[in-house]
Structure 1
């Protein structure tokens, strides 16, 4: 709305790129302005052929379109110097056109940085740009087009094709002075579906952003000469949000960014992969220059790793020393991080395999959550093909059913399998009115849970899959799932093409944590059994459960179907901070 109401002629947008001049990496330099009058923005950079007689006119149309003008006359009214419009159907069923400048924000989650005098929101969009907005009034401060995307902007000429550009989530490294004021701010982001690059900007001065570096695999196209490519041969689409953490270095610490190798489009629906996929690696880089510090891949790491990474500080010294991540072959990986002076001692290995044969297709798209026991860690994660959400698993054509997993990580010498876990799908421990046989089975199950390496639950609804990371809080682990094709017996008020559920499970047993299903209760007592493990919360793909403390009370939130659902939480007690410390 702010851009729609903005006078684009008298109050033009500040849109930048990087044209490749080594001494001109401040994006607000005139040479990097994405304007018609900047001769450094050539038609060649925009991917227009030398032989095209309309090349200069096309160049101008592209630039004006990105600034918000309807230079392609999408509304067919013959006017190309007006603002772009978008159409939608209102509550009366009428098609309405409104001025609409911004592209879609699909997977890029907003990043808010508080500078003292101002708070700035950074987010990527599918209009080709990373945007910076003033948090106080929503005004766009500036936008940045990654240089590798310049040649794709011409694809906007087709009005009926979804374009993917800056689709990744930005992450920040913030260094503050003793008085709390800003010393340094870097943001690092990938392109996700938009490409195979990571970029870093110095936004210490939010009005004068600088390009720090850009990472690309050596086979990427186009390569413009300024990219860091050495060591990134396995990099796929850059889905894994950078994890910026301190690691031990000598007698101190060094800030490092970790990310997984990313996604290979061979995993898309109706595609097939070879024996080894792109993205089958883990990387650690220097955030100052993007240079590779460490990478890991081996013969067992054959599958793409689009997931974010989970990090632990197991000895509470302020430095990361453990990482977990899953891959699209259903494998869970553990990495032990030592001092940078002994980087050769950094180790990685599989600790669990969800698939025992090539016919099983369980995929891990999201990072696990972890809880600590005295001599091991619980690692929680789920499976599901996020890029094929309508896939109906558990059918003759695709028999694999997805699972919810809880693994005890005792640093196994060989990968665990489901044979090392207890199948608690039936929820025998909470069976009401158990028979003597049931009681014996309950005792056996409890013993198995104590001696095994964890538990799992099969998602029995046809096509059900996890679509976000689990969250553990107060002894309860929360998962969210999506099932395609909303059931006919569901509430007709829910719209969409699938069912969203939230699961709340006791973290050691997988038992139902709450009395979600009131229909199985009796007049005499509440019954908590298998059907109480989950509840339907709406239609569409749900978000992760987000935990917040509001006025001392614990509140959970799940985004679903354009709204917010608040599931029951395990702790109703007031939470009072005991201490705090600055991480960066």
Structure 2
């Protein structure tokens, strides 16, 4: 006899339990360079003040592009294989051809001279021409030019040839060369048709060039030559315009608090007050004599916009300040550093409005990035002064970075860089960071000669800062019951953006974790079974012709928001469509773990040993993956080659996979659907019934039914970021079928241009899960409201089987304006009807509903309770919002829905300003919780109690905390609730009042499902193994039941129940196990599988 346990007040869960389905909330809009989840950084973002040299020389031109030759591997390989070659010898390249391009020579700018890059089996080298006699031009008559400020390739009144000699090439003899090219710096903008030919000199150690006629043409050239046909147009612009554009893009990174200023010796706008002699200063690096300036000196520097939390107004202030710059005057580099010190010390206001003074929040990392194109001059600047000023800034916990743009003499910035890194390395516990790259342990300044190099330098600085400052953990783990008590955990490393998936045993009685069973990164197969689409929906094996191989460097990319899912044997006992036969056929299928990663793939791992079985790269990510060709900042492998590199972290497959067993009218199958999350605007579906991977050609079934099949990929112009967790449900069918399997999801934030979010409306999608065709009459989407409601998005949808007949008939989803919508008529061929279940009447986003709702069946047949909370934690601005947030329990039924359809009014409403309730049929019982601290005794701890609560109500609303002492952000709900045994469990999060910790507080509530009052002894707070009156707390002489308990620091996951234990994971402290009391009289026999 087969029994089934049915929890009357909970939705049935499958065999695989996602115990801690935590993921960071989606990004606010399109991702900018250097994506990091908001929970990885401190409450106070790092403050970066950019000071820019606007002296007259910034009007000079600089290149917009960075041309480099085609691959020269064959030429270099031939050189290092020569009999006389030894490491440290020189190499000469000779360039001929037709057309005209002009590059910078050593005599024109030593820092922009031609550079040879070579990668070989023992490492990589970059060598720049380092003397004027190592680049030369030879005219048709054989005459040689050794001192020209530029290199004409190859027409200078007549065709000529150019010689480039690179000294001290430290490559071992017969090393295997894997990559080689020469990088040139544009000197003039030119677009003429140009094609060049490059050859090497056939000599083991060629000498320097001389003025002797024919000194280049007379050299013996190797037989190998490399053609460089159809050169792109070379362009230049002024340094000031390039700087404006690059910095303007940089400050759009909202994970950092940006400020901006400029400096020049140009009164009256840039007042400095000249020196009055010298003075002695005592610093952490010793005593120095430096110029003295009169009191009130502005040091020739304007602080146009101070550092602040990033929002649209602040960003516009920054852009306006940057755009206003005009170059003129001299280069007082040294005093500008004193201006930065004054600003961060609170002695100098910025120029926004009436002026804002920096207030140091103690633990905020403070960084000065100083950009200059010239060497500072006496009496204001010398290398010794730069050393002293850098120490003075470090004494104030300010990390200093020097960037030279078109700067030849780096001596002053070199001193700054070496001191700055030395101070940053001295004490790992302080707030000074070594942000310069090092050679032999000595910090080196960032030197840029072009737009690309300036972008690269600034990106490397911010990436280095983030890797040292940001911290965090990956999504919470997943457990398996069929395969034993196993916990699967994901993680990421921000230093190089790699990830890992690991398995541990778990003791169900004690909650203790056992030893690690496996690490996926450690057992990654040597040969990867990788697949992708060919652009037409056909799956093909990965090859170099499918995708650029830039992502193959990592065993596994970072896993940030994707929660793993385990697909084992079919878990349900559906009494229709011969599901039992399907269960029997699939009892022995191999359990697999699926997870998305920001290396661009969905990965499938064997649950038993962690070995990857296959990975799939969605077609929709081809463009993003191939973008690595554009530059190293888009190359996810760059952090592995260069830990201080300029890779701007990006999300790829960032959504969590969802699995369901579905019937297509003839066969059952297990379908896995994954959204890209913050990685893009696309969902994709795979048939993973067998799970063994794609066949040898990457195609679908080969006859045994075990192969994975690509079903579809879906995107839409109104979709936005695919951050919703899809809901797959059996709904009413049309025509001859009595049912259809549909998939539902809501639209996310704008995925293309951030500014488009301001006008973006919210849509709900309904597709047939097998083939993504329209589920509803003539459409696959509806606008959630007929009125125009811009800047909106939806929470993940909840599908409810109200009649308990295995057909979903209602859908609930919330939006940014605090409305919970109910959607009826969601079956095949229907025209969905949208009404409001609840409305907060907000005109802005004060009470957004971002977490998925939960439901429970009420005592009356056909009635359901809907539970949800408000609040979000998605960007820096959310860290300090103090708006009152709520958790609601609302009873809904068919009669209320029909009433709501007759007019525009919602069933329930609430005015957060006046606390006025809105009435149609039902009232709302408002409840307040109170934070209490018990300092001693068996019940010592921090709790939430409800002092006054009314029973026998039709709805209730819990007001969350926004008034406890010291709060900097209000309490909010950011994860899905759980309802079981007459109790609704939910977690809340409060941004930390300790701004240095960055985690915040995690709370777990347990309330009566029908009143919102405290349950009877839900928690064993005195740890005596019993649930009774001893688990109450006494406050002001009265004993109260516990409504909520403090879990620890970090953002909490949704609660999941197993064996009368609630599991929650937090980003700050990991797994939390809480024994709870669930009344058995709330459980009735109806279905088997408590999973």
Task: Answer whether TM exceeds 0.5 for this pair.
Answer: yes
Q: Does 2:926 match 1:423?
A: yes
Q: Which residue of 2 aligns with 1:505?
A: 1007
Q: Which residue of 1 aligns with 2:542?
A: 34
Q: Which residue of 2 aligns with 1:327?
A: 815
Give the alignment of 1:19-58 within 5 angstroms: 19-21=534-536, 25=538, 27=539, 32-36=540-544, 39=545, 41=546
Conserved in 2, the CA contact under 8 Å of 1:328 and 1:362?
Answer: yes
> In structure 2, the residue corresponding to 1:527 is in which secondary structure?
strand
Tell me: CA distance 1:324–1:183, structure 2 relative to 1, closer, same or farther (3 Å).
closer
Conserved in 2, the CA contact under 8 Å of 1:175 and 1:185?
Answer: yes
- The higher radius of gyration belongs to 2
Among 139, 145, 149, the alignment partner of 2:621 is 149
Among 767, 775, 778, the alignment partner of 1:285 is 767
Conserved in 1, the CA contact under 8 Å of 2:991 and 2:999?
Answer: yes
> In structure 2, the residue corresponding to 1:391 is in which secondary structure?
helix
The Cα shift of 1:450 comes to: 4.7
Q: Does 2:681 match 1:196?
A: yes
More deviation, 564-573/189-198: 564-573
Give the alignment of 1:180-579 within 5 angstroms: 183-206=668-691, 207-208=693-694, 209-217=708-716, 233-250=717-734, 252-264=738-750, 273-274=757-758, 276-278=759-761, 280-294=762-776, 295-297=781-783, 298-300=785-787, 302=789, 304-337=792-825, 339-341=827-829, 343-344=830-831, 346-354=832-840, 356-358=841-843, 361-373=846-858, 374=860, 376-388=863-875, 391-392=878-879, 398-409=881-892, 410-411=896-897, 412-413=899-900, 414-415=905-906, 416-418=908-910, 419-420=917-918, 421-425=924-928, 446=950, 450=952, 453-460=955-962, 461=964, 462=967, 463=969, 464-486=971-993, 497-513=999-1015, 514=1017, 521-522=1033-1034, 527-528=1039-1040, 532-548=1042-1058, 550=1059, 554-560=1060-1066, 561-571=1068-1078, 573=1080, 578-579=1085-1086
Tell me: CA distance 1:315–1:392, structure 2 relative to 1, closer, same or farther (3 Å).
same
Q: Which residue of 1 aligns with 2:942?
A: none
> In structure 1, the residue corresponding to 2:533 is in which secondary structure?
coil
Conserved in 1, the CA contact under 8 Å of 2:675 and 2:684?
Answer: yes
Deviations 1:53-104 (A, max 9, x none): xxxxxx4xxx1x4233xxxxxxxxxxxxxxx5xxxxxxxxxxxxxxxx2112
Q: Distance in 2 between matches of 1:524 and 1:353?
A: 36
Q: Does 2:657 match 1:170?
A: yes
Conserved in 2, the CA contact under 8 Å of 1:307 and 1:325?
Answer: yes
The Cα shift of 1:358 comes to: 2.4
Tell me: CA distance 1:111–1:466, structure 2 relative to 1, closer, same or farther (3 Å).
same
The Cα shift of 1:255 comes to: 1.0
Deviations 1:537-563 (A, max 9, x none): 111100011011x3xxx2211112342
Conserved in 2, the CA contact under 8 Å of 1:390 and 1:484?
Answer: no
Q: Distance in 1 between matches of 2:972 and 2:843?
A: 19
Tell me: CA distance 1:485–1:175, structure 2 relative to 1, closer, same or farther (3 Å).
closer
Deviations 1:348-396 (A, max 9, x none): 1122112x34256111111111222216332111111131377355xxx
Tell me: CA distance 1:14–1:272, structure 2 relative to 1, closer, same or farther (3 Å).
closer
Tell me: CA distance 1:357–1:202, structure 2 relative to 1, closer, same or farther (3 Å).
closer
Q: Which residue of 2 aligns with 1:108?
A: 562
Tell me: CA distance 1:459–1:132, structure 2 relative to 1, closer, same or farther (3 Å).
same
Q: Which residue of 2 aligns with 1:430?
A: none
> In structure 2, the residue corresponding to 1:340 is in which secondary structure?
coil
Q: Which residue of 2 aligns with 1:13?
A: 528
> In structure 1, the residue corresponding to 2:623 is in which secondary structure?
helix
Tell me: CA distance 1:404–1:191, structure 2 relative to 1, closer, same or farther (3 Å).
same
Among 119, 123, 126, the alignment partner of 2:598 is 126
Tell me: CA distance 1:328–1:408, structure 2 relative to 1, closer, same or farther (3 Å).
same
Q: Which residue of 1 aligns with 2:74?
A: none
The Cα shift of 1:522 comes to: 4.9
The Cα shift of 1:401 comes to: 1.7
Tell me: CA distance 1:360–1:7, structure 2 relative to 1, closer, same or farther (3 Å).
closer
Q: Distance in 2 between matches of 1:21 and 1:273?
A: 30
Tell me: CA distance 1:581–1:538, structure 2 relative to 1, closer, same or farther (3 Å).
closer
Gaps of 5+ in 2: 1-517, 569-585, 629-633, 640-646, 695-707, 911-916, 919-923, 931-946, 1023-1030
Q: Distance in 2 between matches of 1:119 and 1:112?
A: 7
The Cα shift of 1:120 comes to: 1.1
Gaps of 5+ in 1: 47-58, 69-83, 85-100, 218-232, 428-441
Q: Distance in 2 between matches of 1:542 and 1:361?
A: 21
Q: Which residue of 2 aligns with 1:79?
A: none
Q: Distance in 2 between matches of 1:265 and 1:406?
A: 33
> In structure 1, the residue corresponding to 2:1085 is in which secondary structure?
coil
Q: Distance in 2 between matches of 1:338 and 1:161?
A: 42
TM-score of the superposition, structure 1-length normalised?
Answer: 0.71
Tell me: CA distance 1:282–1:527, structure 2 relative to 1, closer, same or farther (3 Å).
same
> In structure 2, the residue corresponding to 1:151 is in which secondary structure?
helix
Tell me: CA distance 1:135–1:390, structure 2 relative to 1, closer, same or farther (3 Å).
farther
Q: Which residue of 1 aligns with 2:344?
A: none
The Cα shift of 1:169 comes to: 1.5
Conserved in 1, the CA contact under 8 Å of 2:925 and 2:953?
Answer: no
Q: Distance in 2 between matches of 1:559 and 1:524?
A: 33
Conserved in 1, the CA contact under 8 Å of 2:795 and 2:815?
Answer: yes
Conserved in 1, the CA contact under 8 Å of 2:727 and 2:797?
Answer: yes
> In structure 1, the residue corresponding to 2:678 is in which secondary structure?
helix
Q: Distance in 2 between matches of 1:7 and 1:476?
A: 43
**Aligned pairs, how many?**
462
> Which gives a bigger RCO, structure 1 or 2 (Cα 8 Å, sep 6+)?
2
Q: Distance in 1 between matches of 2:610 and 2:530?
A: 16
Tell me: CA distance 1:522–1:313, structure 2 relative to 1, closer, same or farther (3 Å).
closer
Deviations 1:275-328 (A, max 9, x none): x424x1111101222122232213347353342211111112211111111111
Conserved in 2, the CA contact under 8 Å of 1:500 and 1:542?
Answer: yes
The Cα shift of 1:568 comes to: 4.2
Conserved in 1, the CA contact under 8 Å of 2:981 and 2:1083?
Answer: no
Tell me: CA distance 1:267–1:562, structure 2 relative to 1, closer, same or farther (3 Å).
farther
Conserved in 2, the CA contact under 8 Å of 1:466 and 1:480?
Answer: yes
The Cα shift of 1:6 comes to: 4.8
Tell me: CA distance 1:259–1:273, structure 2 relative to 1, closer, same or farther (3 Å).
closer
The Cα shift of 1:243 comes to: 1.1
The Cα shift of 1:525 comes to: 8.8
The Cα shift of 1:129 comes to: 0.5
The Cα shift of 1:3 comes to: 5.2
Q: Distance in 1 between matches of 2:882 and 2:752?
A: 21
Conserved in 2, the CA contact under 8 Å of 1:499 and 1:541?
Answer: yes
Q: Distance in 1 between matches of 2:788 and 2:889?
A: 22
